[in-house]
Amino acid sequence: MRREPYPVHTTIIDDAEEKAVVEVLRSGHLSGFSAKTGERFLGGEKVREMEEDFARYFGVEYAVSFNSATSALHGAMAAVGIGPGDEVITSPYTMSATASSIIMTNGVPVFADIEESTFGLDPDSVEQRITPSTKAILAVNIFGHPCRLGPLKELADRHGLMLVEDNAQAPGMYYHGKRCGTVGEMGVLSLNYHKAIQTGEGGMVVTDNRELAERLQLIRNHGEVVVGQTSRKDITNLLGWNYRLTEIQAAVGIEQLKKLDAFNRIRQDLAGRLTALLGRHDFLVPPVVEPEATHGYYLFPIRFFAEKIGISRQTFVAAMQAEGISLAGGYVRPIYLEPMFQEKIAYGRQHCPFGCSLYKGTVSYEKGICPTAERMHFAELMTTDICKFPNSKQEVDEFGAAVDKVVANLAELRSRAE
C-alpha cells in the first residue's frame, strides 16, 4: 500500500518562530536566569511572557516553565513534599519518566491498574492501593484523552492526597468543562519535539496554588541558595536544580502555543476519518471519547480482538507493516517489569528508595499486579501515530485500505501463521 517513508513528524515552524528566535539572538540575552533573589530569579523576558500565556490559556493563576517534562514532573513531586518513606500511586502504562519522577524524590511508586476505555488509572484499583504511606496520586491523561479525573479527585480529597496530572499527551483537551491539567493540584505539560507543540525540549507546570508555584520556582533554580535570602520557614525539598528554560526556547513556545488548537483540530479531523474507516471491521475498536471529554489523539490506540478475525495481533501487525503502514503492537511495557523495579534498586547499592529504612511499607512489582495493563500491552492494544502532522488524509486512507487488504487475504495469512 505504501512504499515511501512517512514524513518526519514535526509541528509547523514558520516565519513566526524564526522572527522570534532572531529577535532573541540579536538581543544577546539567551537566558535571563540568575540564582539569587530579584527579578532575574524568575527568568528572562521571554520565559515570563511564555508562562503568562500558558497560565492564561489554561485558565490558572500560575505557570512555571522547566527544561523538560521530566524535570517538571520531578519538580511537581518535590513541591507536594514527596520524600523517603512516601508512596505515590501512578499508572504502569505510560512513559517511564512518570514513575521515575517519584523515585527522584526518594518516593516509592505504587502501580494501580488501568481501565479499558481511557487506558488511564482505574479509580477502584487506586483505592485498593492506598496505604498509610500514600501521599499523592500521579494520574496520566494517556494518548490524548483524560483519565477518570473526577473520581480520582474525589478519591484524593477523601483521603487527604494530592492529585497531580501528567498531561504531556493531552494539552488543550477538556474534562467536564475544565482543561486537562487543571483538575488536580498541578498539571504537567511536555514541549518535547514529538508532542502537540514543542520548544525542542521543555515542560510546564500549571496550578492555581501559590505555595506550590513558589516551591516549583525554587526547585527549578537552585533553591537551596535562594531560600536563605527569603523569610520562608519550610525548606523541605527545596534543594534546587538547574531546570531552567532558555530565552530561545521560550520564544518558540510563545508562538507554538498560538497554534495548539489548530494542531489539535488537525489530529481530531484525521482521527475522525480513521475511526469511520475502521468502523466496518468488528475486530477493531477505535479510541473511545467519553461524554463531556475531548480527545487529542497524541497516538491513535486501537483494541484488537483476535477471536473475531482468526489471526493473532502479531500476525495482523506484521501484515500491516509489510504494507508499509505505521502500526505497533502495544505501547510501552508496563513500567514495573523494567529492571529497576524488578530488582528494586535505584540509588547506591542499598536498594533505595525501596529498601530505605524510612520506608515502612511493602510494594510488589510482580508480573500480574496490573492485569488490564498487561492484557492491553501484550494482547489487545495497537497504536499508530498516523494522525500526527504532517500526515494527511492520504496516509489515513492508506491505513484504512491496508486493513481492507489484510482482511481480503485472511486465508493466506492464516495459512502462513500455521
CATH number where 66 lies: 3.40.640.10
- Residue 267 shares a structural domain with residue 171: no
Amino acid at 100: S
In a domain, 365, yes or no: no
Number of domains in the chain: 2
Can you read off the three cell numbers belonging to residue 136? 499523592
Work out whether the CA dihedral 371, 374, 379, 380 comes out positive or negative.
positive
- Residue 316 shares a structural domain with residue 172: no
- Residue 106 shares a structural domain with residue 124: yes
Can you read off the three cell numbers belonging to residue 165? 496530572
Range of the domain at 273: 260-331+373-417
- Residues 50/254, Cβ–Cβ less than 8 Å: yes
- Residues 219/241, Cβ–Cβ less than 8 Å: yes
In a domain, 60, yes or no: yes
- Is cis: bond before 353, omega within 30 of 0? yes
Give the pLDDT of residue 231.
76
In a domain, 355, yes or no: no
- Residue 205 shares a structural domain with residue 229: yes
- Is cis: bond before 390, omega within 30 of 0? yes
Domain boundary among the residues 213, 244, 259 is at 259
38 Cβ contact list (under 8 Å, min separation 6): none
Residue whose C-alpha cell is 502479531:
314
Q: Tell me the C-alpha distance between 73 and 83, whole Å.
A: 14
- Residue 273 shares a structural domain with residue 403: yes
In a domain, 350, yes or no: no
- Residue 305 shares a structural domain with residue 406: yes
- Residue 137 shares a structural domain with residue 20: yes
SS3 46: helix
The pLDDT tens digits of the residues spanning 150-187 come to 999 999 999 999 999 999 999 999 999 999 999 999 99
- Residue 413 shares a structural domain with residue 321: yes
In a domain, 234, yes or no: yes
In a domain, 177, yes or no: yes
In a domain, 345, yes or no: no
- Residue 252 shares a structural domain with residue 264: no
- Residue 33 shares a structural domain with residue 96: yes
In CATH, what number is assigned to the domain containing residue 313? 3.90.1150.10
Can you read off the three cell numbers belonging to residue 387? 494522525
Q: What is the pLDDT along the chain (418 residues), one digit of tens a residue?
A: 999 999 998 899 999 999 999 999 999 999 999 998 888 999 999 999 999 999 999 999 999 999 999 999 999 999 999 999 999 999 999 999 999 999 999 999 999 999 999 999 999 999 999 999 999 999 999 999 999 999 999 999 999 999 999 999 999 999 999 999 999 999 999 999 999 999 999 999 999 999 999 999 999 999 998 888 777 888 999 998 999 999 999 999 999 999 999 999 999 999 999 999 999 999 999 999 999 999 999 999 999 999 999 999 999 999 999 999 999 999 999 999 999 999 999 998 888 999 999 999 999 999 999 999 999 999 999 999 999 999 999 999 999 999 999 999 999 999 887 7
- Residue 315 shares a structural domain with residue 193: no
- Residue 382 shares a structural domain with residue 400: yes
Domain boundary among the residues 259, 292, 307 is at 259
Can you read off the three cell numbers belonging to residue 229? 535570602
Give the pLDDT of residue 318.
96
The pLDDT tens digits of the residues spanning 350-383 come to 889 999 999 999 999 999 999 999 999 999 999 9
